[in-house]
Amino acid sequence: MKRLIPLILITFLAFSCSNDDDSYYHDYHLEYIGAVDANVPSEFVFGRTYRIEVTIELPNSCYFYYNQYDYFYEGTSRLIYPIAHVDDGVSCTEDIREVTFPIPVQALQQETYTFKFYQGQDSSGQDTFFTIDVPVVN
Protein backbone atom coordinates (compact mmCIF):
# COMPACT_ATOMS: atom_id res chain seq x y z
CA MET A 1 0.00 0.00 0.00
CA LYS A 2 2.88 2.39 0.79
CA ARG A 3 4.17 1.97 -2.78
CA LEU A 4 0.74 2.52 -4.29
CA ILE A 5 0.15 5.94 -2.72
CA PRO A 6 3.20 7.63 -4.37
CA LEU A 7 2.26 6.06 -7.71
CA ILE A 8 -1.31 7.38 -7.45
CA LEU A 9 0.00 10.82 -6.43
CA ILE A 10 2.45 11.00 -9.35
CA THR A 11 -0.26 9.91 -11.81
CA PHE A 12 -2.67 12.51 -10.44
CA LEU A 13 -0.07 15.30 -10.68
CA ALA A 14 0.92 14.34 -14.22
CA PHE A 15 -2.64 14.58 -15.50
CA SER A 16 -3.64 17.63 -13.47
CA CYS A 17 -0.75 19.67 -14.93
CA SER A 18 -1.92 19.24 -18.50
CA ASN A 19 -1.67 22.41 -20.56
CA ASP A 20 -4.48 21.56 -22.97
CA ASP A 21 -6.43 24.63 -21.85
CA ASP A 22 -5.34 27.23 -24.42
CA SER A 23 -7.38 29.99 -22.78
CA TYR A 24 -4.52 30.60 -20.34
CA TYR A 25 -1.69 30.43 -22.87
CA HIS A 26 -1.09 32.80 -25.74
CA ASP A 27 1.73 34.17 -27.79
CA TYR A 28 3.30 37.43 -26.77
CA HIS A 29 6.47 39.40 -27.24
CA LEU A 30 8.29 42.08 -25.30
CA GLU A 31 9.10 45.42 -26.86
CA TYR A 32 10.57 48.72 -25.83
CA ILE A 33 7.91 51.37 -25.41
CA GLY A 34 8.54 55.09 -25.47
CA ALA A 35 8.51 57.26 -22.40
CA VAL A 36 6.37 60.39 -22.64
CA ASP A 37 7.35 62.09 -19.38
CA ALA A 38 9.59 61.75 -16.34
CA ASN A 39 9.42 63.36 -12.93
CA VAL A 40 13.02 63.82 -11.79
CA PRO A 41 14.32 65.91 -8.87
CA SER A 42 16.07 69.16 -9.79
CA GLU A 43 19.18 67.91 -7.95
CA PHE A 44 20.51 64.87 -6.12
CA VAL A 45 22.27 64.88 -2.76
CA PHE A 46 25.23 62.53 -2.95
CA GLY A 47 24.49 59.20 -1.23
CA ARG A 48 20.70 59.58 -1.08
CA THR A 49 18.20 57.39 -2.88
CA TYR A 50 15.44 58.84 -5.07
CA ARG A 51 12.44 57.61 -7.00
CA ILE A 52 12.17 58.76 -10.58
CA GLU A 53 8.62 58.54 -11.92
CA VAL A 54 8.48 57.59 -15.61
CA THR A 55 5.29 57.77 -17.66
CA ILE A 56 4.72 55.64 -20.76
CA GLU A 57 1.81 55.45 -23.17
CA LEU A 58 0.37 52.04 -24.05
CA PRO A 59 -1.16 52.30 -27.55
CA ASN A 60 -3.88 49.65 -27.33
CA SER A 61 -5.42 46.90 -25.21
CA CYS A 62 -2.78 44.35 -26.25
CA TYR A 63 -0.03 46.27 -24.42
CA PHE A 64 0.62 45.75 -20.71
CA TYR A 65 3.29 47.03 -18.37
CA TYR A 66 4.68 44.77 -15.64
CA ASN A 67 7.34 47.05 -14.10
CA GLN A 68 10.03 45.98 -16.55
CA TYR A 69 12.69 48.27 -17.94
CA ASP A 70 16.29 48.13 -19.06
CA TYR A 71 18.63 50.52 -17.27
CA PHE A 72 22.01 50.95 -18.95
CA TYR A 73 25.09 52.78 -17.70
CA GLU A 74 26.96 54.87 -20.27
CA GLY A 75 29.57 56.95 -18.44
CA THR A 76 27.62 59.49 -16.37
CA SER A 77 24.48 58.84 -18.44
CA ARG A 78 21.68 56.42 -17.67
CA LEU A 79 19.65 55.04 -20.57
CA ILE A 80 16.16 53.92 -19.59
CA TYR A 81 14.14 51.65 -21.88
CA PRO A 82 10.62 50.76 -20.61
CA ILE A 83 9.48 47.28 -21.72
CA ALA A 84 5.89 46.39 -22.61
CA HIS A 85 4.34 42.92 -22.82
CA VAL A 86 2.39 42.70 -26.09
CA ASP A 87 -0.20 39.97 -26.70
CA ASP A 88 0.02 38.43 -30.18
CA GLY A 89 -2.76 36.77 -32.13
CA VAL A 90 -5.61 38.40 -30.24
CA SER A 91 -7.90 41.24 -31.24
CA CYS A 92 -6.98 44.57 -29.71
CA THR A 93 -9.09 47.61 -29.01
CA GLU A 94 -7.93 51.20 -29.22
CA ASP A 95 -7.41 51.78 -25.54
CA ILE A 96 -4.62 54.33 -25.19
CA ARG A 97 -3.62 54.65 -21.56
CA GLU A 98 -0.75 56.07 -19.59
CA VAL A 99 1.13 54.16 -16.92
CA THR A 100 3.58 55.68 -14.46
CA PHE A 101 6.21 53.59 -12.72
CA PRO A 102 9.07 54.32 -10.31
CA ILE A 103 12.78 53.73 -10.80
CA PRO A 104 14.96 53.87 -7.68
CA VAL A 105 18.22 55.78 -8.16
CA GLN A 106 20.95 56.14 -5.57
CA ALA A 107 23.21 59.14 -6.20
CA LEU A 108 26.63 57.50 -6.08
CA GLN A 109 28.57 59.73 -8.47
CA GLN A 110 29.70 63.31 -7.97
CA GLU A 111 29.13 64.24 -11.61
CA THR A 112 25.82 65.35 -13.07
CA TYR A 113 23.52 62.48 -14.00
CA THR A 114 22.20 62.54 -17.55
CA PHE A 115 19.02 60.49 -17.86
CA LYS A 116 18.07 59.46 -21.39
CA PHE A 117 14.52 58.16 -21.66
CA TYR A 118 13.78 56.04 -24.72
CA GLN A 119 11.09 57.51 -26.99
CA GLY A 120 11.21 55.20 -30.00
CA GLN A 121 13.14 55.03 -33.24
CA ASP A 122 13.53 57.62 -35.96
CA SER A 123 13.01 56.97 -39.68
CA SER A 124 16.54 55.55 -40.01
CA GLY A 125 16.04 53.09 -37.13
CA GLN A 126 18.11 55.01 -34.57
CA ASP A 127 16.91 55.16 -30.96
CA THR A 128 15.62 58.56 -29.87
CA PHE A 129 15.56 59.90 -26.30
CA PHE A 130 14.51 62.87 -24.27
CA THR A 131 17.20 63.92 -21.85
CA ILE A 132 17.15 65.33 -18.33
CA ASP A 133 20.30 66.40 -16.48
CA VAL A 134 20.39 66.22 -12.68
CA PRO A 135 23.32 67.83 -10.84
CA VAL A 136 24.71 66.23 -7.66
CA VAL A 137 25.36 68.31 -4.55
CA ASN A 138 27.08 67.37 -1.30
pLDDT digits (tens, 9 = 90+) for 46-94: 999 999 999 999 999 999 999 899 999 999 999 999 999 999 988 999 9
Taken in order of first residue, the domains within the chain and their CATH numbers are: 26-137 (2.60.40)
What's the confidence (pLDDT) of residue 17?
A: 54
φ/ψ region of 125 (left if φ > 0, alpha if ψ in -120 to 50, else beta) reads left
Listed in sequence order, the residues at least 6 apart from 132 whose beta carbon sits closer than 8 Å to its beta carbon are 38, 40, 114, 115, 117
> What are the helix and strand counts (H, E) for the chain?
1, 10
The chain-wide mean pLDDT, for the chain, equals 88
What's the confidence (pLDDT) of residue 95?
A: 86
Find the range with the poorest average confidence among 16-20, 35-39, 83-87. Answer: 16-20
What's the confidence (pLDDT) of residue 23?
A: 58
Inter-CA distances, 61 with 21, 22, 67, 96, 97, Å: 23, 20, 17, 7, 9
Burial of 101 (0-12, 13-18, 19+ CB in 10 A): middle
Q: What would the pLDDT profile of 81-95 be if each residue is shown by its tens digit?
A: 999 999 998 899 998
Name the β-bridge partners of 52: 103
Higher-confidence residue: 3 or 41? 41
* d(C-alpha 103, C-alpha 85), whole Å: 18
